[in-house]
Every structure is written in C-alpha cells, then in structure tokens.
Amino acid sequence: MEGMDSQGTWLELVLAAVALAACNDPAPYIDPPDAGAEPITLHGRIVDFESCASWNRCEPVEGVLARLYRSTGYVSEPSGRPGRFALPSPPAHEDDILVDPGPLAASFAPTLNPWAAPAALSDVYEIELYVLPAGRNPDGSATLLTALAELSPPIDLVGNGVTPGEGGYIGQVLREGEDGLDTVMGARVEVVLPGDWPEDVPAPQVRFVNAVPRYTSGDVLYDESYGATGPFGIFVIPTRGQTAMITVRVSTSDTVFREVNAPVAPGMVTLGLHTP
C-alpha cells in the first residue's frame, strides 16, 4: 500500500487475519512444530490379530516393522520382545501406521492400522498395532486371509508377493464386557464411497465371517444374502483393486459404533476395530 512502511503492512495483515478468523467457528489449536524440530517417538507393541480371540488374548509379534503410511520415511526397527516397537514421527503429525512384515511376508500380511499415530507434541506410549497372519497356522489350519483366498471365486486381498491382491478392509465389532472387549453379533455395516470412486467399478460388497479356521470348522463366510456379523464380529470388504478412502459405519438396533475412515489399496489389508 502506497505510503505505508513494512511495519504498517505487517500490522494490516495481522488485523485482516483476526477479522477473518472471527467470521469462522473456533478450531482446535496445535502449536506447529519448527521446521527443524526433532521427531518424537511412538512406542507400543504389535500383536497377531487372530490370536486375540483365544483365551490367552493377543500374542505379540517380533521381527516386523511399523511405518507411517503418509510419511513413509519414518520406520521402526524390527519389533522386539514382546512385540515392542519404537517409531519416529514428526511432531503434530496424525497418520495411519502400516505394519510391514518385511522378511516375514510369508507369515504376515501388510496391515494398515487407521489413524494409529496421534498428532502429538511429545512421545506417545502404549499404542497397540495389529497384524494379520498369512499362510497357515502351526496346526495346519488356514489363516483367515488364506481361507478367503481359497474360496471360489477367491477373495484375495494381499496377493502372492509378485502380483498384489485386490486389497480391502477387515473390521471387527466389539463392546466392553466383564473381562474386556467382547465380539458383537448382529451388527450391520454400511460402506460410504468417496466421490471419485470410478463409475465403472461396482461398489464393494460387505461379507460376514462365519468361521475363523484357527478356532472353528465350517464355511468361512456366510451366504452373500446374510447381512450382519456372526459370533466373531468380523466382516470383510474387498475393494476391487482401488486405492481410495472409504468410510465404514457400523450399528446394531441399540448402538452406533465408531466410524472408521479407512485408506485402502491393492496388496494390503486395512484393519478397523469398531467400538461404541
């Protein structure tokens, strides 16, 4: 502005910014980190998702990596005993965390834990990450992913290491019980697709898990017409090879469960837990 010095210009900009902010709803404030700020560290453990249905609860997994999904340069060392990891992260950076099986790809699948990295300004502790087992269990039974891939037609979410599978989402519905979290039967699932979902790609179908071979025999999935979770509270959404952000909503007649905004992509499984 003509005739105004640099200090006056700066003051005018500040006043304009204050006036603009006054016209909008208040927003939560997070102190932005300096460009040269040191990373914080996210601490926790990685467990085998299928093992959590056993009486011994979740078994820790050693030798797999945790990495930020959007900031891929941030990665942990292989998880130690008992499944512990330490993952560097930019401060105030919210993200998903991918459990990368690395050299253990024959035993575990790339498993995305949605929004597991909080926007924190200091170290975070006791984060629990889940990884889905692949291949077969020590007793010879198929893992859930293998049982799905062996269906006709197959639901191959991960692929064979050379050709990626179609990717997708596995969810479990849980509520607090006397001894911890209990699975929920009878929960219905809605998938909300993004606006840029290709028009020529059919919407993904939600399928409900009847049996996990590690624990029970029988058909792994209910018939396509079946519309709610069974005793394991687990459902599967194959996402037809698309890279997208889907929204998964879950409810029963008396409860609305946590909605999950889930990135999906070929070759990996996004795992979401839905609690009240």
Topology of domain 156-274, CATH: Immunoglobulin-like (2.60.40)
Query: What pLDDT, on the 0 to 100 scale, is given for residue 32?
Result: 52
Other CB atoms within 10 A of residue 127 CB: 18
SS3 247: strand
Q: For residue 152, what are the CA distances in angstroms to 145, 147, 149, 155, 219? A: 14, 10, 8, 8, 12
**Each residue's pLDDT tens digit, 47-85:** 999 999 888 789 999 999 999 999 999 999 999 999 999
Give the chain's residues under pLDDT 50: 1-31
Query: What pLDDT, on the 0 to 100 scale, is given for residue 36?
Result: 58
What is the phi/psi pair of residue 104, to 5°?
-100, 25
| CATH class for the domain made up of 40-131 | mainly beta
Residue at 182: amino acid letter = D
**Residue 53 in tokens:** 């249905």
Query: What pLDDT, on the 0 to 100 scale, is given for residue 114?
Result: 98
Q: Is 234 exposed, middle or buried (0-12, 13-18, 19+ CB in 10 A)?
A: buried
How far is it, in rounded angstroms, from Cα 229 to Cα 188?
7
Query: What pLDDT, on the 0 to 100 scale, is given for residue 54?
Result: 86
What are the residue ranges spanned by the domains of the chain? Answer: 40-131, 156-274
**Residue 239 in tokens:** 């996402």
How far is it, in rounded angstroms, from Cα 147 to Cα 140?
12
Contacts of 21 (CB under 8 A, 6+ apart): none
Do the domains at 40-131 and 156-274 have one common CATH topology? yes
Residue 50 is classified by DSSP as: G
Other CB atoms within 10 A of residue 256 CB: 11
Query: What pLDDT, on the 0 to 100 scale, is given for residue 57?
Result: 84
Tell me if 269 sits within 8 A of 110, measured CB to CB.
yes
How far is it, in rounded angstroms, from Cα 204 to Cα 244?
12
